[in-house]
Amino acid sequence: MLLNLIAIDPGGETGIAWAMFKQGPLAGHQAVQYAFTHSMGEAWQIGGDPKEQVLELVSIVHHYMHKAGQGKQEVYKVRTVVACEDFQLRQKALRKSALVPHAIGRMLEFQLWSLEAMDTEVAPQVEWRWQQPSEMSAVTDDMLKRWRLWQPGKKNDDAMAALKHLIVLARKLEKEHG
């Protein structure tokens, strides 16, 4: 099976990480590292208005599903999983800026669901998962550096957060696969 994974760290600047690899001998960070060194993985970030970000994220998910050959008869069955960092809203943090990550995640989940619900022939089949911010602490900056996945610079902070979520997702899927 071919895993097509996308992780999103939403916010004023939204980090995105993508990797595609065959499920099997390599797991977790090794599979992601292999994908990145073979042009089948990348991490970056986008900014702007939350609604514009959601539309761009929907387009990104569709792009990588097409790249994986989803919807075509291919040698491998493709499983696409999107993980998005979830935010627990707290009463003290109800400023508009604090709501942006929450809004982006919820709007994106709804957009992907509604496309799938309206037209299953055209819409992607996406597994949606929420990840807690604390989960990415299992992958440190030092680990990313050691694995040669680190992209230095302030402009990449959100991209590196998304990459950490991607590795956590890959590890979870490997545990589920057994």
Q: What is the pLDDT of residues 64-98, one digit of tens each?
A: 887 877 554 455 678 889 999 997 766 665 666 66
The C-alpha angle 33, 85, 24, rounded to 5 degrees, equals: 35
> Domain holding 46: CATH number?
3.30.420.10
| pLDDT value at 131 more than 70 | yes
Looking at the 3D structure of the chain, how many domains does it have?
1
pLDDT, tens digit, 9 for 90 and up, residues 160-174:
999 999 999 999 998
| pLDDT value at 153 more than 80 | no
Q: How confident is the model at residue 177 (pLDDT cuts 50, 70, 90)?
A: confident
| pLDDT value at 60 more than 70 | yes
| pLDDT value at 121 more than 60 | no
- Using DSSP, state whether 42 is helix, strand or coil: strand
Which is it for the CA torsion 84, 104, 45, 19, positive or negative?
positive
- Beta strands 78-85 and 41-47 are unpaired
Contact 148, 89 (CB under 8 A): no
| C-beta atoms surrounding 28 within 10 Å | 18
| pLDDT value at 9 more than 90 | yes
- Tell me the residue length of the chain: 178
* Residue, of 89 and 109, whose pLDDT is higher: 109
In which domain, by residue range, is 29 found?
A: 2-177
